[in-house]
Amino acid sequence: MLIEDPTVIAVGDRDRAAQKAKETRTLALKLDVGLLWFFGFGAGLSAWQYRRAKRTGRTERQDRGAYRARLVLSGLWIAPLIALIFAHHWLEGRALGESPWPVLLGVVLTLGILAGTGWYVQREGQEKTNERSRRILRWAVPLAIGVASIRLLAWLVARR
């Protein structure tokens, strides 16, 4: 490493270069598997819905069973990604000697928000689902954009 800039790898520092390459490969593999799962399961779910609609002649709007099945399958689609994200935070915190309670609290809050949103959207039946979903999106999207902007600003300021 160069003394002036410890993040720069000097020629001959093979151990650090090998470690950096290993970390990059590990991240790339995780990213590839996550993207494959996300898009592969989404494509499979879409194909299943298309075949079911073609076979029965009914879409999810007319068939409550199909609507509920899609919601369950969508939950199964996202659950492994959420589990992997929290597992990563758990292991990273454990390696740094941090308490696991913030990660556990994050899991509980995330599941509570997802369950509460699902209950709110469906509580007056399938007919009102689109209206209630739009109502949530009207405030959730600007809130998410605001939080992401603040995090980006904090990250940029912290890097200087």
Residue whose tokens read 């597992």: 87
Most confident among 23-37, 77-91, 107-121, 139-153 (mean pLDDT): 139-153
Q: What is the pLDDT of residues 16-62, one digit of tens each?
A: 777 777 777 877 888 888 889 889 988 998 898 888 888 888 877 77
What pLDDT does residue 25 have?
80
In the chain, what percentage of residues exceed pLDDT 90? 15
pTM over 0.75? The answer is: no
Q: Do 121 and 136 contact (CB within 8 A), yes or no?
A: yes
Cβ neighbours of residue 73 closer than 8 Å, sequence gap 6 or more: 45, 48
Contact criterion met (CB below 8 Å) for 46 and 59:
no
| 98's tokens | 């941090």
Please state, rounded to an integer, the average pLDDT across all residues of the chain: 83
| One-letter amino acid for residue 72 of the chain | V
How far apart, in whole angstroms, are the C-alpha atoms of residue 26 and residue 44?
Answer: 27
